[in-house]
Structures are given as C-alpha cells and as structure tokens.
Amino acid sequence: SSAPSELSEKISFLGSGEDFLHLVSSGLRDGRRRVYTYSLIDEGLFFSETGAALSKDTASKHLIHANAAMSVRYAGTFRICQRPGSGERVLVIDNDSGTYQPSGSNRHLLQALLELNFPGLEVLALNIVEPQPSYTRSLIGPNEAKGDPRAVYAGTWRWAAAAE
C-alpha cells in the first residue's frame, strides 16, 4: 500500500531554536498541540509526530527512528509548550521510550546538548520515572491525558490548556 500523502521525510540542518520551531510548526498541526517520538543517535536527532491512535502500531517508532541501532544516546517524546503570559516556547523532552529505556540520570546532558544546538530555545528535560515538577503544570501544552478521546497522545505529563 502507498503512504498517505501527508507523510514525508525531511532532512534539515538547523542553526537555531527558531529553525527547529519552524521545522515543527511550533508543535502545532491543525490547530492542536502535538507530541513527537524521537531517537538521538550519533548521526543526529530523528523524530516524527506521534499520537494516541499511532501508539497502537506494532513496530517501535524509537527503533525505526534509530534505524535499529544498538547504540542510542537518548530516546523518548517531546512537545513544544508555552509559558503563560509571555508565550515563550519551551521544548519539553523526556526519556519515555520503552524500547531503549534511557536513564533519566543523564537528562541534564540531553538538555545541555539541545540548548547548545538550538540556541535561543529553552529546553526542559524530564525523567519519565519521576513525578512531574509542579512548576511545569502551568505550561500550556498538548492534551496527553490517558483515556481522554481528545488527547493527542496517551502520556504521563499534564499541561495547562490553551484558552479557546
């Protein structure tokens, strides 16, 4: 069968946080905030949009993004959130990968790497096995509530909803 027309592969070399935000349309598609699955390997950061319906796939998206690499630096999900009031965008990334299960103890290294490569973009790295820091719950982000039919991803994190 052929792939849907909206699927595409894009290789980009980015010089700033704004370049990254432009590439992912500030984390929005069809007016809704989205969640992405990623794998970070020596060759780069590989990712695609994920979602509640997509999580039923039988193949591991992390494994596919990593091209079945045995050595993966980090893997999980990310989303673009916004600070209320200022609208400043924040890349919130985690280690939510059942395939590679990266240790959360190195998340500060992931955060530093992304801040270095995407200057001007605030990065927040969370550990999936730790409770969500309370100060992050005020960030405006995607609906990741398990069991909610409006959720774009059945995840762990809870964010403030954008004003309609």
* 3-class SS shares of the chain: helix, strand, coil, % to 5: 25, 25, 55
What does the alpha-carbon distance between residue 163 and residue 112 come to, in Å, rounded to a whole number? 31
Position 59 pLDDT exceeds 70: no
The average confidence (pLDDT) of the chain is 84
Q: Minimal CA–CA distance to 87: which of 127, 27, 16, 36?
A: 27
Position 146 pLDDT exceeds 70: yes
Position 8 pLDDT exceeds 90: no
- The contacts of residue 158 (CB under 8 Å, 6+ apart) are 132, 137, 144, 145
Q: What is the pLDDT of residue 13?
A: 77
For the whole model, what pTM was predicted?
Answer: 0.84
Q: How many residues does the chain have?
A: 164
Give me 120's structure tokens.
Answer: 């001007």
pLDDT, one tens digit per residue, over 97-120 is: 877 778 899 999 999 999 999 999
Evaluate the CA torsion angle 119, 99, 81, 83 in order and state its sign. Answer: negative
Percent with pLDDT over 70 in the chain: 80
Q: What is the pLDDT of residue 2?
A: 44
- Average of per-residue pLDDT across 54-76: 58
Stretch (H or E) spanning 8: none
- Average of per-residue pLDDT across 52-61: 48
